Each structure stands twice: as structure tokens, then as C-alpha cells.
Amino acid sequence: MNGTPRRLNRFFTALLGLLLLLAGVFLMVVAVVPSVAQAWHSVAKEWVAWIHRSYEATPLLSSSWVYLVAVAVLLMIVLLTVRWISGQGQGRVSLLMDRPDGSPTQGDVTISGNVAEQMLRAALAGRSDLLGLSVGTYQYRGVTGLRVRLFPRKGASPQKLVREVAVLLEGLDTALGQHTPVLLHLGTGTRALFTREERVR
């Protein structure tokens, strides 16, 4: 429900994993097979010699312009990496509603996303079948919505919990005077895995 480029992330993750796998297999082959190791040493020497020849053939003042090209390429890679990192998790906002008042008095009506979280926490407080919840406000393609994550206790009925939370969210729509898209997620966090259900013996 945010602007994270998941497909691009999966592509780069798969590409990086494939490159690391190939590098690992290659190093194992070089370490085990002597003929491959000798061939690799000869190829590496040729590459080093080619780099020295390129350096000497491209003079620029007291250095070589090849280094300038290498620095420019590295700088571009750094900028693209920063741009990619900054694109992770975009879409989270703090306001659930921001619209004109509509009354003769000029002004806007703004409601924080914390209002929905506090309302749900107050309504669901004290439930024995719920360990915790988290509410986030996100904007996707110009539409503001909520992501509600519930952590039910082991053995709790998810259908019953979802129905009751849906009723609470309908009440939130009535209070706000607008329909708010909601992504409801049921999760099992660390607390849910290690918390034992209390029973009367």
C-alpha cells in the first residue's frame, strides 16, 4: 500500500543473488581445478597489462582520463543507489483527511491518522484474543487509506476479529463523513509466537 518498487527490488535481489552464486561457484572451481586456476592467472595478467596500456595511451595532465570516466561512473552508481533507497517505503502520510470545511468560514478540516489508531485501540482494548495492533496512514495514487495490522492470539478466530474490526471501521467512516480504504492484515509477530494462551484450570 505504499510506493515501494517491489518488482524492481525483486529483480535486483535476484540479479545480485545470481551474481554472488556465480562468483562463489567460480572461486570454488578456481580453488579446486589447477588448470582453471592457471588459466585465470594468465587472463588476469592480460587484464592488468591492458589497464596499464590504456592508462599510458590516454594522458590528461598528470593523470589519465580513464580515471575521470571511472569516477564519473562510480558517482552515477552512487546517485542511482541513493535514488533507489529514497524510493523505498514512500507513501506514508500523517493526515487521514485534509479537505475544505465547506462552511462560510474559510479553512480546512484536517484529521490525523493517529485518530483512527487511538479509536481502534480504545475499542479493542482488553480483548483476550488480540495481542496488539498497529495502524498506518498511506497515500497511494492520490487516495489516502489505512493499513491496519492485527496480531491475534494463538487460537483466536480470525473471522470474528475481522468482522468486529470491520464494524469499527464503518463507524469511523460515519464519523469522518467519507469512505476510507483499509488494508487489513492479520500477522503473527514474535509476541504472538511466544505468548501462551491463558487458561483456567
pLDDT tens profile 100-157 = 666 566 667 777 778 888 888 888 887 778 888 888 888 777 778 888 888 888 877 8
Record the pTM. 0.49
Task: Give, for 25, the enclosing helix (H) or strand (E).
Answer: helix 6-32
Residue 137: exposed, middle, or buried by beta-carbon count in 10 A (0-12, 13-18, 19+)?
buried
The closest of 162, 180, 183, 161 to 171, measured between CA atoms, is: 180
SS3 category, 86? helix
Q: What are the Cα distances from residue 32, in Å, to 40, 109, 124?
A: 13, 71, 62
Mean pLDDT of the chain: 78
* pLDDT greater than 60 at residue 193: no
Domain at 95-194, CATH from 3.20.20.70, 3.30.70.1350, 1.10.730.10, 3.90.1200.10:
3.30.70.1350
* pLDDT greater than 60 at residue 196: no
Residue 153 DSSP one-character state? P
Q: What is the CA radius of gyration of the chain?
A: 29
How much is the pLDDT for 60?
61
Alpha helices in 148-195 (DSSP H): 158-176, 190-194
Percent of the chain past pLDDT 70, that is, above it, reads: 79
How much is the pLDDT for 2?
53
SS3 category, 62? coil
How much is the pLDDT for 199?
36
Q: Quick one: average pLDDT of 19-23?
A: 93
CATH 3.30.70.1350 domain extents, the chain = 95-194
Q: What are the Cα distances from residue 89, in Å, to 36, 112, 137, 153?
A: 45, 19, 12, 28
The residue with greater pLDDT, 76 or 85, is 76
Residue 92: exposed, middle, or buried by beta-carbon count in 10 A (0-12, 13-18, 19+)?
middle
How much is the pLDDT for 94?
73
How much is the pLDDT for 76?
92
How many other CB atoms are there within 10 angstroms of residue 165's CB atom? Answer: 20
How much is the pLDDT for 59?
67
* pLDDT greater than 50 at residue 201: no
* pLDDT greater than 80 at residue 41: yes
